[in-house]
Amino acid sequence: MTNFSTIKLEILDRIAILSLNRPEKLNAMNFQMIHELIDCTKSISTNDEIRCLILRGEGKAFCSGADLSSGEKKWKDTEESLNKGYWPIFNNIISMPKPVISSIRGAAAGIGSAYSMACDLTIMSKKSYLLQPFSNIGLVPDGGSHWLLYNMLGYKKAYQIAIENERIPAEECLNIGLANKVVEDEFLEEKTIEWAKKISKQSFQSLMYSKKIMREVNDKSFLETFMKEAEIQKKLSGSHDNLEGVRAFIEKRNPEFK
């Protein structure tokens, strides 16, 4: 694997563990980290040996947002940095055929909050939180946060979170649908890997196509989604994984998928 200076990558049982690695800055994103994340998420996306990606942060925080203290002027303005820097990472996460789990310890703030929400699944430690701090500095949430919040929560709650500059604790995230699981702080890494391993044992074609269908639901009618499911079901029926799954069910054993 490529050596990185602001992130770390570990492969464990076909699971990629991608860690933001600027703990002294609470994993705030600078120009170097953005470009390393673009390259790394693209590589993971196209690596057929990897079945699941965990996105996490080293140290006390997942990600405190963009590094406003770096003084870097690598793009001409904020719009260019979002479009050319941050968007490719979002696109790689959303479009990769494998599930992506955000594992949140401490703060997931600003663009860090958006990356957490953009992942397919989220597990949080009890003391962690999401935060949209933009109204406090005269800006608006970015990284697609308005779309993510609106589609997950509806207008009133999404607008409240966008403008209030309030921490959303892990338990509330779980209750309103911004997180799937909340665990004790000391068990976050263990429970995240345990979850990723469980998911990775499922049929990869099932994981891949369900993600594809789900990611397109907002642009489709019920009938279009129904027909897409039928089309994919036809493609998968009689495949190795389908036949193996049926055999395993009849024989009362765990399936061995490709």
What does the pLDDT read at residue 77? 84
Q: From the centroid of its chain, how far is CA 31?
A: 20
What is the mean predicted confidence (pLDDT) over 206-216? Answer: 96
Across the range 3-12, mean pLDDT stands at 95
3-state secondary structure of 58: coil
pTM of this structure: 0.94
Does residue 191 carry a pLDDT above 80? yes
What is the DSSP track for 6-46? SEEEEEETTEEEEEE--GGGTT-B-HHHHHHHHHHHHHHHH
Asked if 12 and 20 count as a contact pair (C-beta separation under 8 A), the reply is no
Residue 156, both tokens:
């009133």
Q: What is the rounded CA–CA span in Å between residue 213 and residue 116?
A: 20
Give the model's pLDDT for residue 246: 94
Mean of per-residue pLDDT scores for the chain: 95
Contact in structure between 182 and 170 (CB atoms under 8 Å) = yes
47-58 confidence digits (pLDDT tens)? 999 999 999 999
Residue 224: pLDDT over 70: yes
pLDDT in tens, 148-168: 999 999 999 999 999 999 999
Residues facing 130 on adjacent strands: 108, 168
Model pLDDT for residues 107-116, shown as the tens digit of each residue: 999 999 999 9
d(CA 60, CA 172): 20
Average pLDDT over residues 66-82: 80
For the chain, count helices (H), then strands (E).
Answer: 11, 9
